[in-house]
Amino acid sequence: MADLEDYRKEIDNIDKELAILFEKRMNMVLKVAEYKKENNIEIFHRNREDMVLEKAIKNLQNKNYSDEIVKFFNVVMEIGKGLQRRMIEDVKKLSEIAVKKSEIDKNKKIGFPGVNGSFTEEAAIKFFGDNSNRISYEGFDDVFKAIGLGQVEYGIVPIENSSTGAISENYDLLRNYGFYIVGEECIRIDQNLVGIKGTKVEEITEIYSHPQGIEQSSDFLKKHQHWKMIPFHNTATSAKLIKDLSDTTKAAIASKRAAKIYGLEIIKECINNQKDNYTRFIIISKKLNIVQNSNKVSVMFSLENEAGTLYRLLRHFAENNINMIKIESRPMKDSSWKYFLYVDFEGDIESEEVISALKLIERNSAYFKLLGAYEKRIN
């Protein structure tokens, strides 16, 4: 009859086989990375990952292990993506980064989600100028894909709103694609109820807008609970749809600029809950670009589910007299109670205090990445 030591020896043999197979898999991952680099293909491929997980479950004889094998392969694929990024994007450790400051080339193509008249386009114009070369895409993910494929040099997406908080999807996309933050812009957001000429409040039955537009105007909308809320891609896209439908029973929540572009009337202006309603947008790129007047730094690192981990990591900011502006946590995929922490703080990336704090965090985190150093924009 086998005893505990026999079981442990068998596990050791299996672990040896796993190590060999893991090395073979990583060798293939590097070949895939080389192909992607030569053919300008993005690293992150959601459909491919879903296929890998489906096949892994299918190959199991005992389906009771389905949840466990999904977690196992998610970790393996996350490691593989990190390996690909180091090859394709030349990702280096903080200690190896030579800070080279250069200005953003505002003549390059910029991708933004939505259509003309969107708040994101307004932020793009404010940052890059009226004559910037802007290309619209349907959704946030499409902007990230366009950067990965080299269709545009930069992208601009919202990252947080002063009344409704973080845009979680864009934090996740930033990590999945491995891109950098090279700038930010902040604009005031005034939401308005808009419709075709002749639309009356008492006749409206349906409201179209981005979920953020609906959420930011929730107090006003509660007064009209018979209205049906229909989430749409974008506030400006919603305005365009109302124009195309030409139906006085339908209205949109959008900006005054969008209403003007699509020939709509302002039925009720400034319906957002908070008078001072601002959205912060980030400028993203495949390349780390640190501008001359950078005074804000963004980093991302893993947070393990261990007592005191958060304190041990964040105390490095306090000990180096660094002012943290924003902390956002996002759960690791299929890893219960483990998180990626995004931190924005004030400081010069070349200062001794910042370098000291970041090196200590990098040393004590399983995963660490400098997301960017750029100029802070004031409302």
Q: How far apart are CA 91 and CA 370, in angstroms?
A: 10
Tell me if residue 206 falls in helix, strand or coil.
strand
Contacts of residue 261, Cβ cutoff 8 Å, sequence gap at least 6: 116, 117, 236, 239
Return the active site residues.
279, 281
Q: How far apart are CA 172 and CA 168, in angstroms?
A: 6
Residues 24, 19, 176, 326, CA torsion sign: negative
Residue 24, burial from CB neighbour count under 10 angstroms (0-12, 13-18, 19+): exposed
β-strand partners of 161: 165, 279
* Cα separation values, 190 from 113, 163, 296, Å: 18, 12, 27
Structure-token match 């957002």, residue found: 272
β-strand partners of 350: none
Q: Which DSSP letter does residue 226 get?
A: T
Element (H, E) at 137: strand 133-137
